[in-house]
Amino acid sequence: MLDTSELTAVVERFADRLRAAPQSRLQRGAAEEGLALARELAVRAQRAETPGAEPRVIPDAGVFAVADQLAVAGTDLAEVLRTAPSPPSLERELDEAVRLVREALERSGL
């Protein structure tokens, strides 16, 4: 099993910063960045869990819901990767997900 604690930690850090951000900051792009990341992580989780199925897209539920959407999507991906048989491709997927979260956090300005 893969150790997904780093992914969970960076996702929670980003989600916490989104929760603490003022509405003006969220509206200036931080929420948009968080939602885009949540959508990407959700698609990755769905593809890993049910290859070949059409992934469902996380809806835009507003700037105040983004933190929770990100936390759920990140946790889902971490759990899928943690419980799957761990071929090398899953380790690369985990590393890529951590990189995506860090980059999105930086772009968000939070």
Burial group, residue 1, by CB count within 10 angstroms (0-12, 13-18, 19+): exposed
Tens of pLDDT, residue by residue over 3-53, are 999 999 999 999 999 999 999 999 999 999 999 999 999 999 999 888 899
Tens of pLDDT, residue by residue over 71-87, are 999 999 999 999 987 67
CB–CB of 105/10 below 8 Å?
yes
Q: Say how many domains are in the chain.
A: 1
The pLDDT score that the predictor gives to residue 90 is 86
The pLDDT score that the predictor gives to residue 95 is 96
Other Cβ atoms within 10 Å of 95 Cβ, number = 12
For 30, the domain range is: 5-108
The pLDDT score that the predictor gives to residue 86 is 65
Tell me the whole-structure pTM to 2 decimals.
Answer: 0.94
Nearest residue to 80 (alpha-carbon basis) of 40, 44, 104, 108: 44
